Chain A
């Protein structure tokens, strides 16, 4: 039946949801659940999984129509890791039972997700990670330390990659799990960053028990599953739809318009160049999404993320210079106070915070250097970097 749905049918379906669940009179969570069950959570997902199997680009119709009706959203900034990374991976590799159990509360925001990938000894070389998962009856016992984990302090579940076969070469001994963050062996400690805040965490895993039913993909297939997650992450970071001046460039442009007295020719030239680059990046994202409507994210997302990181850094740096004296003062009313935010919002903050936070954009989700390797090797087909440990059993490799 979904094959015959037109965009007009979709519009009527949204209208039907709104008619049966008046957003002003319905409890927020009840509305979100009803929206999921109507297949209007993400229309490109399959029927029964919050979607209708429709083209991805039709989804913006739904968001627009619901926003106009004043419907509550699922606070995407609070649950970005679940929406952008966990969900597509569970959809691609999860069993029907796992999809049934996890996707709905993930989407409604009832269950926040985080990502337990990076470790102190495994950053760019993620496949070298050392967190161990050992078989124990119908489950696994996990021990290790993870780091750079945003949302770990609010998360109910985590996507986790752990080593299940230390005798295999590093890429082949990994397995992917869905980890319950309320397990008593999970210890989340804030990790303070250069912004003064602890948006990230260190996560210590001590004898954490994960039932085998929460393994995602086959044993030893963890690298393949994690790669899919990372490709989705790069699209999530670089390729979300935005209106013109919707990102950081809008902040600088607004400052330029508001402060004629601060304008210099140097700043003007740099602003126009960055404005052009930001707008071209926005259009490139539009083109990438039109391509993705017919396929899965590939390494092209790496290119988007490279651009996004560079622009965020240059724009926030320019903004501080444009603000002059105000740029010397840090976060009015908040300062360097150590807080643990429950969402990531780059644009809702002062320029100084954004300048510092943007430094992470070229590190998190793959450093810009690694992303250039990915583009060079997987898009352009240039020779791979020498890897001395690729075919060596992990336990014998030098770390």
Chain B
């Protein structure tokens, strides 16, 4: 078995510059802060730019469906930049999680039509499960009578931006996934810890649905999507962590107290050195997960749980250190550190909490819990 390549390819470097350049120009920190005060006007243009202008929603969609036929590696590059700018874009929820559901082997023609729309940047989808749900658990389902779907889903990420909802439905012979127009659901925004990825509660009452993954195949499709999502969320977390480290280091090189640059105090230098090690380690773990997913490697499941458990904690550590080491300014509404703290803490819980991923590792590598 050849070793997975953990370094970026030249194409991946190009993609990184493109996305970074776009976000630097078009994703404004002040506008993200306004989202906490109810002004969501920043969200639409950023996503239209990433999905439509740059065509990034097409990355995981095969070429024959109008997609780019790229892999988890390229999606990870995008997510690292999304994390680095706490961009309010549903790339993870639509272009990764929902897209992966629709890519299930036995998905229907309706799923393929939907994938064409997603790839073109004309449609945006969200999987109607709580953002905290991780792979390996029971999937919360709604009920269907014929093609009419009824039920609730709480704390769904990406639903506010979506025009189509992928709803797990209990059916004869297992779970099916039905596509429902968001306009046919009641979508109630939730005051969320991370308003740059604001959640919503969904309520459906006899909404018309179309089968995208048939009964019996839905649970596996959703599980795969949640696993892929967790593995790639790790790259977003690396982006968050890297921003926190760089910004804090830069600030401590300027901030003076006691007649010295405070970054010269050894107590702070050592904390930042430890943080650097954590961020670099997280980077390696996230790349390994993306490379394993891209190669459909036998190690992919373990790689995802490893990255998810490690990077989630590393991002929180980085964001908490950023707030602390900025001192008073780090506690203010004006400074962007809190936007990263809120993204990091939410992401740590999303798609399976760090502890759940460690439990999964215990099962995978035969380190069982006490009886």
Contacts and interface: CB of A to CB of B under 8 A. Distances in A.
Interface string B270-293: 101110110011111101100000
Interface string A227-267: 00000000000000000010000000100110010011100
Contacts of B370: 260, 263-265, 268
A306 to B, nearest CB: 6
Contacts of A264: 370
A99 interface: no
Interface of A: 57, 245, 253, 256-257, 260, 263-265, 268-269, 271-273, 275-277, 279-281, 283-284, 286-287, 290-291, 300, 303, 306-307, 369, 371-373, 375-377, 379-385
B345 to A, nearest CB: 19
Contacts of A271: 367
Given A245-B365, A379-B273, A380-B249, 19 more contacts: A253-B367, A269-B358, A272-B359, A276-B306, A276-B361, A277-B310, A283-B284, A284-B281, A284-B284, A286-B6, A287-B6, A290-B7, A291-B7, A300-B280, A373-B266, A375-B273, A380-B272, A382-B272, A383-B260
A369 B285 CA distance: 25
A62 to B, nearest CB: 15
B64 interface: no
A273 B264 contact: no
The 4 tightest CB contacts between A and B, nearest first, are: A383-B264, A376-B269, A263-B370, A372-B273
B298 to A, nearest CB: 12
A46 to B, nearest CB: 24
B277 A286 contact: no
A377 B269 contact: yes
A260 B371 contact: yes
Nearest to A284: B284
B367 A283 contact: no
Contacts of A275: 361, 365, 367
A275 B310 CA distance: 11
Interface string B130-169: 0000000000000000000000000000000000000000
Contact of B284 (A57, A272, A287): A287
B268 to A, nearest CB: 8
Interface of B: 3, 5-7, 249, 252-253, 260-261, 263-264, 266, 269-270, 272-274, 276-277, 280-285, 287-288, 306, 309-310, 358-359, 361-362, 365-371
Contact of A272 (B5, B261, B283, B358): B358
17 contacts: A256-B367, A260-B368, A265-B370, A268-B370, A277-B310, A280-B285, A283-B6, A291-B7, A303-B273, A303-B276, A306-B277, A373-B266, A376-B269, A376-B270, A379-B276, A380-B249, A383-B264
B145 to A, nearest CB: 44
B280 A284 contact: yes
Of B5, B253, B358, chain A has the most CB atoms within 10 Å of the CB of: B358
B273 A286 contact: no
B34 to A, nearest CB: 32
A229 B260 CA distance: 33
A380 B276 contact: yes
Given A57-B3, A382-B249, A263 B273 contact: no
A286 B3 CA distance: 9
A167 to B, nearest CB: 30
Given A257-B366, A272-B358, A381-B249, A283 B285 contact: yes
A59 to B, nearest CB: 12
B316 to A, nearest CB: 14
Contacts of B310: 276-277, 280
Nearest to B360: A272
B340 to A, nearest CB: 18
B350 to A, nearest CB: 18
Contacts of A276: 306, 309-310, 358, 361
Contacts of A286: 3, 6, 284, 288
A376 B274 CA distance: 9
Contact of A383 (B263, B281, B368, B369): B263
A281 B269 contact: no
A277 B274 CA distance: 14
A280 B288 CA distance: 9
Nearest to A263: B370
A385 B266 contact: yes
A213 B309 CA distance: 55
Contacts of A382: 249, 252-253, 263-264, 269, 272
A263 B369 contact: yes
Contact of A290 (B5, B260, B309, B371): B5
A65 to B, nearest CB: 15
B97 to A, nearest CB: 23
B369 A265 contact: yes
A328 B271 CA distance: 35
A284 B266 CA distance: 26
A379 B280 CA distance: 12
Contact of B358 (A273, A280, A373, A381): A273
Of A256, A377, A379, A383, chain B has the most CB atoms within 10 Å of the CB of: A383
Contacts of A372: 269-270, 273-274
Given A287-B6, A303-B276, A372-B270, A280 B284 contact: yes
B272 to A, nearest CB: 6
A231 to B, nearest CB: 16
Contacts of B282: 280
A371 B365 CA distance: 33
Contacts of B277: 303, 306-307, 375
A272 B7 contact: no
Contacts of A380: 249, 269, 272-273, 276
A362 to B, nearest CB: 13
A387 B210 CA distance: 72
B366 to A, nearest CB: 6
A171 to B, nearest CB: 20
Contacts of A265: 369-370
Nearest to B288: A283
Contacts of B272: 376, 380, 382
Contact of A376 (B273, B309, B369): B273
Contacts of B5: 290
A265 B370 CA distance: 6
A53 B367 CA distance: 42
Contacts of B281: 277, 280-281, 284, 307
Contacts of A385: 264, 266
B367 A272 contact: yes
Contacts of A384: 264
B255 to A, nearest CB: 12
B118 to A, nearest CB: 32
Contacts of A373: 266, 269-270, 273
A263 B367 CA distance: 10
B315 to A, nearest CB: 14
Contacts of B3: 57, 286, 290
